[in-house]
Amino acid sequence: MQRNRILALQIMAANLIAPHHAVAAPDLAQYPSSTLSNSYLTVRFYLPDAEKGYYRGTRFDWSGLISRVDCGGHAFFCEFKPEEHDPSNHDDICGTAEEFGMTIHPPGFDRARAGEPFLKLGVGVLERPDASDYNFSKRYRILKAGSWSITQNSDSVEFGQALEGPNGWAYAYTKKIRLAADSGALTISRRLKNTGSKTIDTDQYGHNFLRIDGAPSGPTYRLSFPFTPRFAPESQAQGSVECRANSLAFLQEIRDKPVWVRLQGFAGIADNRIQVDHQRNGSSLRIETDQPLVRLVFYSSGGVLSPEPFVKFSIPPGETREWVTTYRFLYRPG
């Protein structure tokens, strides 16, 4: 008995003094990807693939996931979970992740019964498992993954998906990423055509998982807007951020306690502009969309900051909606 107790104490002591080894970063090089570059930008993005793709979850649009942009010696965007990666998990994602139908149920979900299909734009045909409400973080069974066409040129890449779902739901969707020829800017252009027999009502937003030069979310940054923002009542600022004039200011680094705030005060299309400034090195990212804001959220967790501008569409059968987001990467010359 005494010998066992001594052995146990020796093991405990060894564990206390043993060095802690960092968790190995996941091997993201295994997933299909590509790049665009010119004299201003180098843009790395993942390619959609139902079998080998970086993201195969049921929340975000699989196409055009920009994971990193290099401009003027500065790096923009990041992985949300740098120490792990599960391609089928809803938020194992990066950079310019976009989602349809977060606050508006996906097409066909409300009429579907347990075991019946519904449509998730940018993903495919999914199965409603039970009578519980739609939850963006839930892992739904994929009955039919939408196939993608990919066309890449020297300065652009276009993704296309045409999908026929259940009960008259169908669409044709394209997303094009193009580099500006004369500046550090890129555009993401989207075209969604309703090819089915029922009106598609949806919202769409970019989650924008962001760090600039690896700096964690905190006083290094400032977010500014064309309007005077204020927090909606349900916001959870955690004492980490506050509204000042036309900006969102950081009071401390955001790591252990996630921050989620919904911002109010915007009006027309001109207000759909967000600028993220790295206040120490003079680099910035400006995000502008050519549609009016319907919802604006700021989320931060684990050092990642995410400004999330939402737009909304109602598309009758046979009609098309198009919208463009411009990302301008700015920096102070050294």
Express the helix, strand and coil content of the chain in percent, nearest 5 each: 5, 45, 50
Residue 160: pLDDT over 50: yes
Q: What are the φ and ψ backbone dihedral angles of 243, each rounded to 5 degrees?
A: -85, 130
The domain of 160 spans: 33-216+305-330
The answer to whether position 226 is within a domain reads: no
Q: Cα 69 vs. chain centroid, distance in angstroms?
A: 14
Give the pLDDT score at 24: 74
pLDDT of 176-232, one tens digit each? 999 999 999 999 999 999 999 999 999 999 999 999 999 999 999 999 999 999 999
CB 246 within 8 A of CB 227: yes
Mean pLDDT, residues 297-315? 97
Q: What are the φ and ψ backbone dihedral angles of 5, each rounded to 5 degrees?
A: -65, -40
Q: Tell me the average pLDDT of the chain.
A: 93
Alpha-carbon dihedral 224, 227, 228, 234, rounded to 10 degrees: -90
Give the pLDDT score at 22: 56
The answer to whether position 227 is within a domain reads: no
Nearest to 122 by CA among 96, 161, 88, 151: 161
Residue 11: pLDDT over 90: no
Give counts: helices (H), strands (E), the chain. Answer: 1, 23
30, 57, 127 from 114: Cα distances, Å: 36, 20, 8
Give the pLDDT score at 255: 85
pLDDT of 63-102, one tens digit each? 999 999 999 999 999 999 999 999 999 999 999 999 999 9
Rounded-to-integer distance, Cα 91 and Cα 95, Å? 11
Q: Cα 104 vs. chain centroid, distance in angstroms?
A: 17
Give the pLDDT score at 333: 72
Domain count, the chain: 1
Rounded-to-integer distance, Cα 78 and Cα 211, Å? 6
The answer to whether position 292 is within a domain reads: no
Strands (E), 54-139: 65-71, 74-76, 98-100, 117-120, 124-127
pTM higher than 0.85 for the full model? yes
Amino acid at 32: P
Residue 18: pLDDT over 50: no
Buried b (16+ CB within 10 A) or exposed e, 279-314: eebebbbbbbbebebbbbbbbbbebbbbbbbbbbbe
pLDDT of 119-154, one tens digit each? 999 999 999 999 999 999 999 999 999 999 999 999
The answer to whether position 16 is within a domain reads: no
